Amino acid sequence: MQLKIGDWLRKYLDKTLSGNETTTMSYPPPIAKTIGFELVELGQASATLKMQTDPAIHGNPMGTVHGGVLCDLADAAMGIAHARRLPRMSPSQALISVSIFFALFGRMKLRLRPERSSWVKQ
């Protein structure tokens, strides 16, 4: 049985999916597996992701979390929050996040567990 994206994600988080329930969105996406983030909370128009950083995987030459990792987290949170509101998505549709700007002043300890949230306003 095919579910709306938001319904499927809610059941995924609640660990109540049955074997025959599917949706048009692939989750977890390959990038989540690659850099190691996971969806931990889903609101009406929000998504919260978490990840444990590792200097050997997520660090830049200065010893801080690479900005691209933070952009990936923000992009994924925005995409999930937006997709949550869609009834269905075809394979030809894409979610595009525009104008991501990060200004990091100071160092971020890699031992921290950064959590990024995103909200969608329409």
CA distance 5 to 11: 10
pLDDT per position as a tens digit, 60-70? 898 888 888 88
CA distance 76 to 73: 5
pLDDT per position as a tens digit, 73-85? 888 888 888 887 7
Average pLDDT, the chain: 77
For the question of whether the overall pTM of this predicted structure is more than 0.75, the answer is: no
Task: Give phi and psi for 115, each to the nearest 5.
Answer: -125, 130
The CATH number that applies at residue 94 is 3.10.129.10
Give the pLDDT of residue 95: 58
Q: Is the per-residue pLDDT at 110 higher than 50?
A: no
Give the pLDDT of residue 20: 93
Domain count, the chain: 1
Give the pLDDT of residue 122: 40
Type of residue at 77: A
**Angle at which helices 67-83 and 5-14 pack, to 10 degrees?**
110
CA distance 59 to 81: 27
Q: Is the per-residue pLDDT at 23 higher than 50?
A: yes
Domain housing 113: 5-119
